[in-house]
């Protein structure tokens, strides 16, 4: 091999090696991203496809002063839209408080046993059924967060509570450990810097098992004070115009984005209120695609006088919705878009990535 060919060959080897080194992180990143997507899909499929499932969920919240609050949820899901949830926590004096919720396809029964021995039962009729993993418990919220995260990635692998797990990062200091065999979460943590502020353990997980029907019998909760959704001041209606007389304004007629259907619509009657905390004249519309929900709230706010300045915080971001300025804020569980339409403040809220929520709000408004 002559010197020119040796030089060209050497340069070629160096270039290939350099290219491999440069591309390696990208290839690894793509492989991790693809694997994370498979974990996410398996997790959602496992719970969505299950005829029934149950789990014990223990959540510990730790404040900056080191004090902790522990809440335990025992959940049994008989089928999508029907479940039993028992929540155990403590009041401000450290005494036990137990809430039992039974969800049917038509109503929500919530019985609370206070530490002083008193009980109360709320029965909310006309509730739209929950679908898929979009359920009122911490596990459902975690799976929904996994489904929506745009920063999902695999950051580790190991053993937790005797089970082989993958550790996933959802971004913003939030990590979830997923059972490699079943595809469902076994633990979760949220950090502020190096400090753990939320720690959740999912134990006693069962899938596709039959539960005793008596556990889902709302009559077993006892005959105590009953409250319906109407008693709480919510009035379901078929159209926005039907609420005008009670609200003092005509709400915008809104439609859900593509793939979403109307779940429930109505208004909070300002005539039914707590004297210390009067109910606002709010018109509420909920859209669902089976996994995610969008809440649209309309409230008469002439005091804003065409400006959102008083509603914006330091964390707010200005965006454009329907050709008009809007404020985008991010909370602990959801994002909200606030915009004015005349004297009506419209809020679109959901557990969606920023770009998806903006797109949804543009479609709705």
Would 296 be classed as within a structural domain? yes
Q: How big is the CA angle at 262 (ends 258 and 267), to the nearest 5 degrees?
A: 135
Domain coverage including residue 118? 48-207
In this predicted model, what pLDDT tens digit does every residue of 1-25 receive, in sequence order?
A: 444 433 333 333 333 334 333 433 3
Whether 153 and 255 share a structural domain: no
Whether 63 and 98 share a structural domain: yes
CATH of the domain at 356: 3.30.200.100
Whether 296 and 149 share a structural domain: no
Element housing 119 (H / E): strand 119-125
Query: Could you tell me if 357 and 328 are in contact, meaning their C-beta atoms sit under 8 angstroms apart?
Result: yes
Residue 8: the pLDDT is: 36
Whether 189 and 293 share a structural domain: no
Whether 201 and 286 share a structural domain: no
Tokens representing 84? 């039993």
In this predicted model, what pLDDT tens digit does every residue of 166-197 receive, in sequence order?
A: 999 988 899 999 998 888 899 999 998 999 99
Would 118 be classed as within a structural domain? yes
Number of domains in the chain: 2
Would 276 be classed as within a structural domain? yes
Whether 184 and 260 share a structural domain: no
Would 291 be classed as within a structural domain? yes
Would 225 be classed as within a structural domain? no
Whether 245 and 347 share a structural domain: yes
Whether 165 and 245 share a structural domain: no
Would 20 be classed as within a structural domain? no
Closest CA relative to residue 283, chosen from 331, 334, 326, 249: 249
Whether 174 and 279 share a structural domain: no
Residue 104: the pLDDT is: 83
Whether 187 and 100 share a structural domain: yes
Rounded-to-integer distance, Cα 232 and Cα 229, Å: 5
Whether 71 and 162 share a structural domain: yes
CATH of the domain at 145: 2.50.20.20
Would 69 be classed as within a structural domain? yes
Residue 313: the pLDDT is: 62
Whether 197 and 238 share a structural domain: no
- HSE (side-chain half, CA atoms, 13 Å) at 101: 18
Token pair 């915080």 is at which residue? 313
Residue 291: the pLDDT is: 62
Query: Could you tell me if 243 and 234 are in contact, meaning their C-beta atoms sit under 8 angstroms apart?
Result: no
Would 331 be classed as within a structural domain? yes
Query: Could you tell me if 55 and 203 are in contact, meaning their C-beta atoms sit under 8 angstroms apart?
Result: yes
Q: How many helices, marked H, and strands, marked E, lie in the chain?
A: 4, 19
**Segments of the chain with pLDDT less than 70:** 1-32, 80, 126-135, 223-232, 270-280, 290-291, 306, 309-315, 331-334
């Amino acid at each position: 091999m002559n010197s020119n060919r040796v030089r060209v060959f050497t340069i070629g080897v160096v270039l290939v090696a350099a290219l491999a080194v440069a591309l390696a992180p990208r290839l690894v990143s793509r492989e991790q991203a693809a694997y994370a997507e498979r974990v996410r899909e398996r997790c959602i499929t496992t719970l969505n496809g299950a005829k029934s499932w149950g789990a014990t969920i223990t959540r510990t919240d730790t404040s900056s002063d080191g004090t902790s609050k522990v809440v335990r949820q025992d959940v049994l899901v008989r089928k999508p839209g029907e479940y039993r949830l028992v929540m155990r926590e403590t009041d401000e004096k450290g005494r036990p408080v137990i809430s039992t919720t039974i969800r049917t396809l038509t109503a929500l029964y919530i019985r609370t046993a206070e530490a002083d021995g008193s009980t109360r039962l709320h029965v909310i009729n006309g509730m739209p059924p929950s679908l898929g993993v979009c359920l009122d418990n911490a596990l459902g919220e975690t799976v929904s967060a996994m489904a929506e995260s745009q920063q999902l990635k695999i950051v580790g692998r190991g053993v937790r509570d005797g089970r082989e797990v993958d550790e996933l990062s959802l971004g913003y200091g939030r990590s979830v450990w997923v059972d490699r065999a079943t595809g469902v979460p076994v633990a979760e943590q949220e950090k502020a810097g190096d400090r753990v502020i939320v720690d959740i353990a999912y134990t006693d997980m069962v899938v596709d098992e039959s539960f005793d029907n008596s556990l889902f019998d709302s009559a077993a909760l006892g005959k105590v004070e009953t409250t319906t959704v109407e008693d709480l001041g919510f009035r379901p209606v078929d159209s926005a115009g039907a609420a005008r007389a009670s609200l003092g304004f005509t709400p915008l007629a809104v439609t859900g984005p593509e793939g979403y259907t109307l779940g429930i619509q109505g208004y909070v009657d300002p005539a039914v209120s707590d004297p210390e905390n009067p109910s606002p004249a709010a018109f509420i519309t909920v859209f669902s695609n089976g996994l995610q929900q969008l809440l649209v709230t309309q409230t008469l706010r002439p005091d804003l006088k065409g400006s959102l300045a008083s509603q914006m915080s330091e964390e707010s971001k200005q965006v454009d919705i329907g050709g008009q300025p809007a404020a985008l804020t991010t909370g602990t569980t959801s994002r909200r878009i606030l915009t004015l339409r005349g004297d009506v403040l419209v809020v679109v809220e959901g557990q969606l990535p920023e770009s998806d929520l903006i797109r949804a709000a543009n479609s709705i408004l």
